[in-house]
Every structure is written in structure tokens, then in C-alpha cells.
Amino acid sequence: MLLNGSTRLAAPWRSLWERLKRRSVRDNEVSLIVASALISVAIGLGVIVLQVLVQRLHEINFGLPRYERLSTHGAPDWWRVLLVPCVGGLLSAGAVMLIRRWRPREIVDAIEANALFGGKMSLTDSINLAFLTVIASGFGASVGLEAAYTQLGSGMASRFGQILRVRRGDLRTLVGCGAAAGIAAAFNAPLAGAFYAFELVIGNYSPAVLAPISMAALTSTLVVRALYGEESIFALNAQVTIHDMDFALFALLGVLAAIIAIATMTGVTRIERFLRRQALPRWVGPTIGGLVVGLIATIYPRVLGSGHGALQLVLEGSLPWSILLGLIAAKGVASAVSVGAGFRGGLFSSSLLLGAVFGGAAVVVLQAGLTHAGLGAIELDRVAYMLVGMGAVAAAVVGAPLTMIFLVLELTGSFPAALGVMVGVIIAALVVRHTFGYSFATWRFHVRGVPIRGGFDIGWIEDLSVGKLMQRDAPTAPLGVTVVEFRKRFPLGGTPQVFLVDATGRYAGIVNTADAYNPDLDRNPEQAIDALGAAADQFLLPEQNVRTALRRFSGVETETLAVVSDPKALRVVGFMTEGDALRRYSHELERARAEEVGEHSLYGPA
Amino acid sequence: MNDPVLDEHPHHQAREVRNRARWRRLMRVMRAVLLGAIVGAYTLGALSERVIPEDENDLLPVPWEALIIGGAFTLASLPTAWSIVGRVLIPVPAFYIFLTVLLGKDPPLPFYVAFVVAGLYSAILTALSRDLAERPTRPKLGSSHHRRAAH
């Protein structure tokens, strides 16, 4: 109440609260850590609520016994399997249509917020997305809840930061804290959560963000452990043994994992395009998607939901090789169809299961190959290969290699397994980076036409617009003005450039004032100044950013450009010099870099 | 003006255009092969889900059946005129294979449901391969069709 209702407080208290906020939070690193811990308690609770909601939905919709996971339960009733995802699709489409009517804009996620909007996110949008993901997962769509956890977590943290009016850099850090807390709580893995934030949401690691993000990840994990138990997505009792030769095979597994990841990511877009081509009503897409998931689940019920239960079954080795092979295809298609058809949710969990299944199938083939080559004495560790496959596919899809290495380390407690996973993960990430160039999140941005490749802050460039940087007192002279008149109005040493405008006020070129004082013009001082006008078709617009302006200066080879209201009216609203633009650009670059490493005096006093 | 493709000494850009077209066709073939492999793997796994012995008395070994369905799907998805041969091969075998899967799994589906679902599987595979095999309406650059159309 104190935070949300500061406007309701009496004036002296309000003033005190504002002062405290400014002094304690804006300029204090310790306060940011405390703030991240506080919000992480709420995020941990939020993750529990989402998990319980989805579990209850599974129990009701699929008739599961209490606390049994959907993808562990071998055989829900056939009519539920066919019907529930379809109904989920219909509900999901209806909810999306209602929400769009109310809030028509695209929901900004944590990565986009940090890259473009300085960490500003809408909490309402985040709750809406979490709600849509709960419907999707709760009704059996083959998507995970991680998108909901990170969206809700970062949305809550962003709102908290906006209430505290923290600086742009700190708000971005808080958004990272929210995502870290969400993932850490979901997987009972604080290190994985923290590195998820570093790799995806913040876009880099620096000492300045280490403490708040680690604190957030740890706090939410402790909250979940205290209230919900220490259950992880899987439990592994087997000891992992890795030989030297295995590392070479892990590299091969990494290459194949990258292919699976790319096929899944592009599959989503192809399905989206296919459905768009059919020009169906909006509600039909998710319903068809639900029907297809239901059809797949009649044979492979393990594709339903996020697949955490199935992951346990796969790691226990209770599924034969041929079923594992089929499950790779089934889970890949079901996940791509779910997301492509319009269910909200991510591919984090799906890629974990897909990768584990792939590793399980691959180890059988590799073992058979070794036996065939007369190396049957070498026994490959089935679990190690499953973990490597899991990490490699998930790293390639999610775009967070270190997160996957730490996730395996935290969930298995096995250092040799983490080393093996490191090889597979690095190779998979490398192959995807060089052949495809995107993770699933950045691929979605690319498809939408949003020019971002991660959580790196590029929004400040957009904020640095020509409109903000220009000088507004642009001196103008009408076309047809004589040299004498021009000299009278603009004495030498005064305004360096004058902008010509026609009778209707449209921009018509720039005149260097010094050129008007050329002695050659003295022979005919009554001639019009128009001939000295240059760059009549070159100008800047107020909404263009500083990089576009600098490119234009370099292309036109001029030092000053007019800024016009719009390309049609061409009304001169100001002007900009290359020197000003360069100065401001380098200053902002320095500021961004200093903020990134957490040293405000990195380049000395401002 | 000379047609750069029909010209004996085509403009250098024409070669680039033809190379790009060739690359696109190769990608479509690769896509068909990849999707055929996915269908084959899916079928193999599905056939292995059967637990009722009466439903496992197949004409061919299980891997062969999966290979045939996957191969037929690849053939049917190729962007060529004769991909119709593959599409002829898909519906009936796919229907029977998925019917045995749905009736042989644990627990089996009621017959009428299995019949409908197997029919849907067969129809989806056929329709999907038809969509993948769809070719551009304009003839391939440099092909005999293209030359005839140009004249």
C-alpha cells in the first residue's frame, strides 16, 4: 500500500517517501540488491501460483490423479486427449481476441524491453501473457510455462522499478532480476536463473549486475523451496561416467542438436505462414493447432504439456529406442504446431525434452556403430548422452549456453556431466550462430521485423532522435533574396548557414553565409542568392535517430543539414550539425558503456 | 530485347539467377527429405507403441513399414510433376498402419474413433505433401517449358 498508494499519503509523508526513494534507491547499489530480493519473494510466490494452477487444470481436464504430472501419465482418456487441446485452442483464441480489443498492441517481453525500452514493461500485459500461457499449458498444448515465469517476473520487477523511479540502467537490471527469479524458482536452480538473465535479458555479465541478479535468483529459489519443496524437473540417481572419446561424440551430438533446433524454430514460422495463407478466422488457428496436438497425443500422450514428467521417464531409460525416435518427431511437431498455431508459451521445456529424447536415441545408434566397428567394449553412458542432447538442443533453441550448462550441473550435481554438456552446448550454439544466426526469441523478433539480437541496450539510440538534438533557431531566407539584402540580414561572422525557403515556406537549400561574401558576387550584387543554395534535396526528419543522421552527413558530405517537419510539407523546424551529432553520440556511447560495467566514472568525470 | 536465359551468351546475372533457382530447388528437395525422415521416425515410434500381439502381425518388418511411409512422403513432397506417384502411395498404407497403432496401443481406442483418427492421419499426410510439392506457376528458368513460353 505504501508503494502503490504514495499519492494517497499525506503531503509531509509523501515528501519524505519521495526523498527516501531518490536517496536510497536511485543512488545506492545496496538498495537495488534489497529491492531485487524483495520483488523476488513475490516472483517466487507467483511461480508457485502458476505451477499449482496448471497442475490443477491438468488434473481436472485430463482426469489425472492428484499431483501426477501430465506427461508421466501414460494414458488419459482418449476423448480428453482429443477434445481438451481443441477446447484450449478455442479458449486461447477467444482470450487473445478479447485482450486485443482491450489492449491492441504487441506484448513487450523482457528481452525486447531491455533492448529497446530501457526496461519498461507493462505489468498488465505480463499478467495477460501469463494467463494465456496457463490456458495453453493447462489444456495440453505442447508448450512450457517458462515464458510465463519470465514475463511475470520481469513485468513485476519492471513495475516495481518504475514505482521506485530507478535509473534506466537499474531498471534494466531489475528486469533481469525478475527473469532470473522466475527461471530459478521454476527449475530450483539459482545459477541457471542468474545466467539466463545475464545471457538473454541483460545481454552481458558485469560486476554491477552480479549481486542484484544473484540475490534475486537465490531469494526466489529459497521461497519456492520453503513453500513448495525442493522438487526439481527431474531427479537423477545414476552416476555419470564419461571417457575421453565421448567428448568427440558429444561434439557430433551438438551438430545434430543444432539441426533439430533450427528445424523446430523454422517449423514454427512455417506453420504460422501456412495458417496465415489459408486466411482463416483468428479463432480457427489455435483450434486446429489443438486438434493436431490431440491427434499426436492419441499415439504419443507424452507430448502433452511442458513434458517435465516425460523427461523423468526418458532419463530413467524406461522408453525403448524406437519410441524415443518417434517421440523426437512427435514432440518437435507438437511444439512447433502449438506455438505456430497461436498458443502462447515458449520452447524452453519442450527443447529440454526434445534434446533428452534425441540424446537417448543417438546413444543407441552410436553404441551400435561402435559395436559394428569392433569397439563394442566401449560402453557409452546413456544418461550422459541424454543430458548432453538435452543441454545442446535447449541451448540452441533458447540461445543461452551457459544457462544450460549450469542447469545440468545444478540438477544432477555431476561435474563430469556438466563438462560433457559444455562440449555439446558450445558446438550446438556455434553451429546455430553461424548457420541460422538466431535463438528462438530473437528469431521471433526477426520475423516480426524488430531489429534486436538480444537484451543489449540499443534503445538509447532510438531515444537519441534528431528532434531532441537539433537546434531550433534555424535562420531562413526566402528564395529570390538578393545578395545585398542577404548580406544585410546575415553579417559575416554571425550565422554560418542560412536555409532557403520558397514562397510556401518549403525548404529549398542551404547557403553558407561566407559564400555570400565572395568578392566575385560584388560585380552583380542585385542577383538572387538562389544559385548558392546546396543540398536542396537533403534533409533530416525529427523522428530519425542519431545513427541515421550521421550516415546522412557522411553520404551527403556536408556539415549541416536542415531538419524538416515531414517529407511533404518540408517546413524547416531546425538544423543539425555533424559535430553536435558526433559529440552527443560519443557521449551517449561512453555513458552506455560505463553503465554496462557499472562504473559511472569509467571515462573520468563527466 | 534478347531473353538473357535463352541467349547463347547470357548476361552474367542470368547465371546468378539460375544458380539461385537451383539452390532453391535443392533446398526444397532437402526439406522433403528431412520431413520424410520425420514422418518415418514418427511412424516407427508409433508402430513400437503397439502392445496387443494381434495388431502386430504385419506384412513387413516394422522398420520397413516406417521407411516406406517416410520414403513415400519424401517422394510426394518433391516439387516435381511426378511427385503424384508418392501421393498415391501414402493414403491407404498410412491409414492401415495408423489404424493398427491406434487399435494396438495400451489402452486401445474404440474402433470407430481409431478409424476416424487414422483417416485424419492419412488425410493430413497426403494434404501436407501436396502443399509441400506445390510448384511455382511460372515454368522453371531455362527449361523446355520456359523456352516454349518465351517463343
Q: Where are the domains of chain A?
A: 6-228, 244-448, 461-589
For residue A477, give the 3-state DSSP assignment.
strand
Give the rounded percent of residues in chain A with a pLDDT score beyond 90: 45
- Comparing CB atoms, the residue among B34, B39, B120 nearest residue A295 is B120
The pLDDT confidence band at residue A31, using thresholds 50, 70 and 90, is confident
The pLDDT confidence band at residue A409, using thresholds 50, 70 and 90, is very high
Q: Which of A4-18, A140-154, A463-477, B109-123 comes out lowest in average pLDDT?
A: A4-18
pLDDT at A6: 47
pLDDT at A94: 94
The pLDDT confidence band at residue B112, using thresholds 50, 70 and 90, is very high
Nearest to A528 by CA among A471, A492, A472, A486: A486
Q: pLDDT tens digits, residue range A443-497?
A: 888 888 887 877 777 777 777 888 888 888 888 888 888 888 988 888 888 888 8
The pLDDT confidence band at residue B143, using thresholds 50, 70 and 90, is low
The pLDDT confidence band at residue A23, using thresholds 50, 70 and 90, is low
The pLDDT confidence band at residue B136, using thresholds 50, 70 and 90, is low
pLDDT at A469: 85
CB contact under 8 A, B102 and A263: no
pLDDT at A474: 87
- A574 — phi, psi (to 5°)? 170, -170
The pLDDT confidence band at residue A198, using thresholds 50, 70 and 90, is very high
pLDDT at A331: 93
| Domain A6-228 coded CATH 1.10.3080.10 | yes
Q: Which DSSP state fits A237? A: -
User: Averaged over A380-409, what is the pLDDT?
Assistant: 93
pLDDT at B139: 64
Helix (H) or strand (E) holding A26, with range, is: none
pLDDT at B28: 86
* Closest CA–CA distance from residue A140 to any residue of chain B (Å): 18
The pLDDT confidence band at residue A67, using thresholds 50, 70 and 90, is confident
CB contact under 8 A, A78 and B121: no
User: Averaged over A111-138, what is the pLDDT?
Assistant: 93
Q: pLDDT averaged over chain A?
A: 87
Angle, helices A123-138 vs A29-62, to 10°: value is 30
B130 part of contact set with chain A, CB < 8 Å: no
What is the grid cell recorded at B84? 503424384
Q: In what order do the strands lie in the sheet with A507-512?
A: A476-478, A497-501, A507-512
The pLDDT confidence band at residue A554, using thresholds 50, 70 and 90, is confident
pLDDT > 90? residue B69: yes
pLDDT at A362: 93
* Closest CA–CA distance from residue A321 to any residue of chain B (Å): 8
User: What count of Cα atoms within 13 Å lies in the side-chain half-sphere of residue A597?
Assistant: 10
Q: Which of A113-117, A329-333, A518-522, B1-5 comes out lowest in average pLDDT?
A: B1-5
CB contact under 8 A, B121 and A300: no
pLDDT at B1: 45
A6-228 and A244-448: identical CATH topology: yes
* Closest CA–CA distance from residue A296 to any residue of chain B (Å): 9
In words, the CATH class of domain A461-589 is: alpha beta
Q: What is the pTM of this model?
A: 0.82
Identify which has the larger pLDDT, A521 or A267: A267
CB contact under 8 A, A299 and B105: yes
Q: pLDDT tens digits, residue range B5-35?
A: 555 555 556 778 888 888 888 888 898 999 9
Q: How many helices (H) and strands (E) would you count in chain A?
A: 24, 6
The pLDDT confidence band at residue A1, using thresholds 50, 70 and 90, is very low
- Burial class, A134, CB count within 10 angstroms (exposed 0-12 / middle 13-18 / buried 19+): buried
B47 part of contact set with chain A, CB < 8 Å: yes
pLDDT at A26: 62
CB contact under 8 A, B124 and A263: no
User: Averaged over A506-528, what is the pLDDT?
Assistant: 86
In words, the CATH class of domain A244-448 is: mainly alpha
For strand A560-564 and strand A539-540, is the pairing parallel, antiparallel, or unpaired? Answer: parallel
User: Averaged over A71-98, what is the pLDDT?
Assistant: 88
- Burial class, A497, CB count within 10 angstroms (exposed 0-12 / middle 13-18 / buried 19+): buried
pLDDT at B7: 54
Nearest to A315 by CA among A143, A76, A71, A81: A71
Separation between Cα atoms, residue A116 and residue A222, nearest integer Å: 32
Q: Please give the ipTM for the structure prediction.
A: 0.83
B117 part of contact set with chain A, CB < 8 Å: yes
Q: In what order do the strands lie in the sheet with A539-540?
A: A539-540, A560-564, A572-577
Q: What b/e string do you get for A441-480 counting C-beta neighbours within 10 Å, with b at 16 or more?
A: bbbbbeeeeeebbbbebbbbbbebbbbebbeeebbebeee
Separation between Cα atoms, residue A182 and residue A194, nearest integer Å: 10
Q: pLDDT tens digits, residue range B91-107?
A: 999 999 999 999 988 88
pLDDT at A448: 82
